């Protein structure tokens, strides 16, 4: 009876989640994957290569059509990615078809595998770059429409027994810098502190018109983040002042574009810092999110409104673009690694080496996806 009630409760939660959560997730993943694959597609077409398949999603086809140049455009059932398959490819991972060596000279001119190495590298890089371009475009529009609102970095509350109290931070202090990084918004504090992995920070303050520099050692605590998940992260135990000014900056077209590029770069920089901490063991692997966790987040952010949802799409687009640049065979970065080796050696890597690399990449990617999904299930009540 207990198991039945639990499963019934999950069914009820799913019924409540699906109308907005499922539609928000499918919209996000379809848009971001489509833009990514369109980057590959357009660059390949620019070089005159034949594209056999353009798929959003994996697995069996839901529906599709053929264009006048012989490309099959299709939507597939598993919405966690997509692919562009070129003439001369053996599969969706763009591994070369060994039978392509028997192609005629005319057929080879249409196959990506026989294009110059710099063209193949540009095609591989075009997908992640398209994701960065999408993020910049979305942030650009947001900054033009709404500007940028920031809460002044004034301390309103210092937790009793917290790292901030131990360091001597007081209510009313204005944070001016952390480890040399200028602070203009309170929102910068948690981002920088979380990326510190608990290492001691030099915090610059203004107190009564005088500048101070205090050494603060963040402590790891379990807190609930913006979307309701419990996470163990470094904190110093401060909250913003209720009286702190909200500063709204308005941008012209060029300023908004610069701010959009800056925001995109900040996401890349913080992501790389976090990944470095995961690799070195300074951060826990339970921070990884999989499809279930991302679906949960998209629903919660969609409830906040269209502007936060657009901002989330931009952030996730940067993340997908960055992940695909990692030098892991099977990802775009793995292809770029192979092409770099080919450029140095003057010939492609051997088929055996490439096959082993692709299999290793497949195992690694699937393993990370399983780990992230397990984290989602352990961290959330599934829905």
Per-residue model confidence (pLDDT) at position 8: 42
Per-residue model confidence (pLDDT) at position 301: 80
Three-state SS at 174:
strand
Query: Could you list the active site residues?
Result: 37
pLDDT digit string, tens, across residues 188-220: 888 888 877 778 899 999 998 899 899 998 888
Per-residue model confidence (pLDDT) at position 286: 64
> What is the gyration radius of the CA atoms in the chain, in angstroms?
24
Phi/psi of residue 266, nearest 5 degrees: -60, -40
Measured distance CA(321)–CA(324) in Å, rounded: 5
3-state helix, strand, coil split of the chain in percent (to 5) is 55, 20, 25
**Are the C-beta atoms of residues 81 and 330 closer than 8 Å to each other?**
no
For CA atoms 164, 168, 171, 177, give the dihedral sign. Answer: negative
pLDDT digit string, tens, across residues 230-247: 667 788 888 887 777 787
| pLDDT value at 100 more than 70 | no
Class of domain 148-249: mainly beta
Could you state, in order of their start, the residue ranges of all structural domains in the chain?
125-146+251-383, 148-249
């Amino acid at each position: 009876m207990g198991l039945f009630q639990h499963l019934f409760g999950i069914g009820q939660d799913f019924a409540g989640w699906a109308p907005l959560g499922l539609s928000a997730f499918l919209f996000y993943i379809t848009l971001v994957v489509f833009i990514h694959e369109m980057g590959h597609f357009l660059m390949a077409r620019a070089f005159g290569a034949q594209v056999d398949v353009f798929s959003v999603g994996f697995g069996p086809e839901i529906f599709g059509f053929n264009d006048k140049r012989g490309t099959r455009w299709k939507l597939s059932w598993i919405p966690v990615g997509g692919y562009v398959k070129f003439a001369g490819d053996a599969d969706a991972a763009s591994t070369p078809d060994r039978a392509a060596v028997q192609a005629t000279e005319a057929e080879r001119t249409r196959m990506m595998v026989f294009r110059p190495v710099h063209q193949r590298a540009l095609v591989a890089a075009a997908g992640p770059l398209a994701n960065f371009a999408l993020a910049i475009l979305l942030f650009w529009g947001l900054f033009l429409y709404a500007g940028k609102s920031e809460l002044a970095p004034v301390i309103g509350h210092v937790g009793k027994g917290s790292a901030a109290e131990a360091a001597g931070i007081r209510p009313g202090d204005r944070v001016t810098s952390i480890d040399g990084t200028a602070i203009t918004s309170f929102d910068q504090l948690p981002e920088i502190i979380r990326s510190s992995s608990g290492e001691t920070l030099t915090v610059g303050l203004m107190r009564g018109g005088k500048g101070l520099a205090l050494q603060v050692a963040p402590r790891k605590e379990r807190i609930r983040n913006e979307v309701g998940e419990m996470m163990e992260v470094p904190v110093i135990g401060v909250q913003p002042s209720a009286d702190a000014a909200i500063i709204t900056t308005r941008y012209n077209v060029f300023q908004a574009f610069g701010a959009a590029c800056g925001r995109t770069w900040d996401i890349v920089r913080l992501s790389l810092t976090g990944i470095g901490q995961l690799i070195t063991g300074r951060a826990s692997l339970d921070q990884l999110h999989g499809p279930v966790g991302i679906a949960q987040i998209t629903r919660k952010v969609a409830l906040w409104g269209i502007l936060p949802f657009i901002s989330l799409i931009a952030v996730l687009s940067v993340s997908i673009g960055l992940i695909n640049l990692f030098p892991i065979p099977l990802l775009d970065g793995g292809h770029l690694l192979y092409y770099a080796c080919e450029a140095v050696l003057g010939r492609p890597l051997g088929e055996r080496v490439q096959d082993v690399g692709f299999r290793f990449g497949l195992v690694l990617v699937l393993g990370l996806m399983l780990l992230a999904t397990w984290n989602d299930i352990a961290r959330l009540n599934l829905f």
